Structure 1
């Protein structure tokens, strides 16, 4: 058996074992386990990613083993080097925001999701294990731009960019419900920056802290593309 075949077998076995092991865990332990593995892999891969994924050479030319070279503008090159030095660091902590019943009701009207857990205060006090209404998970998720201060026209995150696009989200979780009246804020940690055509793709892990609570209300990886 060739060495590459053995490695493939090992990878498939470990993936299957990890999946079955995680399924055995309780949801709470599973969240902490996933976060631990993510951080461990991130620390290990930071050094390797420079070689495996791409290298920035002189004149802003990016060489990717799997793709054609990407020519970066001077502005994109400068930002790339700046962000590379911040990978793994917390790059932003937002202001506190109170999640009111009015905000929850407005979100319910827009999405047509009027489940009693969110909107029926009297019933929630009687039947909900939280003894109050809670915010929709997607409401918390939708507040990421506001909580990360990425929609403030007076303080753009990337002033030299021509356009910033929300490209998507990875690994979204809601570890703990956000109760009505809770005060929340976002913590953003930079985990990856990749040169792309005409710009950069930036990934941040965003955790929504609930004041006086140990567990976050939401954890997600935000993927943004910045064009120059």
Structure 2
């Protein structure tokens, strides 16, 4: 995770910050997500039926599962301001689910710093343009503008 001083942020705006490692999305993860969110649609949890009745050739991850993977994908990739006490997921300006992630496929996150603003003394709002890529696919799984808040000590 790149650590930098707050006066170095402006120079990084518009730059790609990093790309995560590939992470496999398993059927077990999809099933667990279905249980936690109570979303048991067959396209996610029934491989045989999904293979027969969908254009996907099998089950797909919930879009929100893919979105929730951003925290993991960002862990070693996004910026940390020197002196941080905590980071907070602030939300999204925009999220688009573009391509379903089939069970067993690998995804990775590509992060570009779109903006960095000191909202209050010691509170920095960072906006990332995020693309979640699917290994071997031309189109990404999702694109989002993700807001994080870093609190400095």
Q: 1:196 aligns to what?
A: 119
Q: Within 1, Cα distance between the matches of 2:52 and 2:90? A: 41
Q: CA RMSD in A?
A: 1.8
Q: Offset of 1:196 from its aligned partner?
A: 1.3
Cα displacement string for residues 32-81 of structure 1 (whole angstroms, at most 9, x for unaligned residues)? xxxxxxxxxxxxxxxxxxxxxxxxxxxxxxxxxxxxxxxxxxxxxx7332
* Aligned equivalent of 2:97: 174
> How far apart are the structure 1 equivalents of 2:31 and 2:115?
36
Whether 2:59 is the aligned partner of 1:127: answer no
Looking at structure 2, the residues matched to 79 and 147 of structure 1 have their Cα atoms a distance apart, in angstroms, of 23
Structure 1 residue matching 2:43: 3-state secondary structure: helix
Q: Which of 113, 118, 132 is matched with 1:208 structurally?
A: 132
Structure 1, gaps ≥5 residues long: 1-77
Bigger RCO (CA 8 Å, 6+ sep): 2
Deviations 1:143-166 (A, max 9, x none): 10001116x9xx983351122111
Asked whether the equivalents of residues 5 and 82 of structure 2 are also in contact (C-alpha less than 8 Å), the reply is: no
Distance apart, 1:208 and its partner CA: 0.3
4+ residue segments displaced more than 4 Å: none
CA contact (8 A) 2:6 2:82 kept: no
Question: Is it true that 1:220 corresponds to 2:144 in the alignment?
Answer: yes
Shift of 1:127: 0.5
- C-alpha distance 142-183 of structure 1, shift in aligned 2 (>3 A): same
| Kept in 2: contact 1:80–1:193 (CA 8 A) | no
**Structure 2 unaligned regions, length at least 5:** none
Q: Report the structure, 1 or 2, having the larger strand content.
A: 2
Residue in structure 2 matched with residue 141 of structure 1 by the alignment? 67
For the residue of structure 2 that corresponds to 1:162, the secondary structure is strand
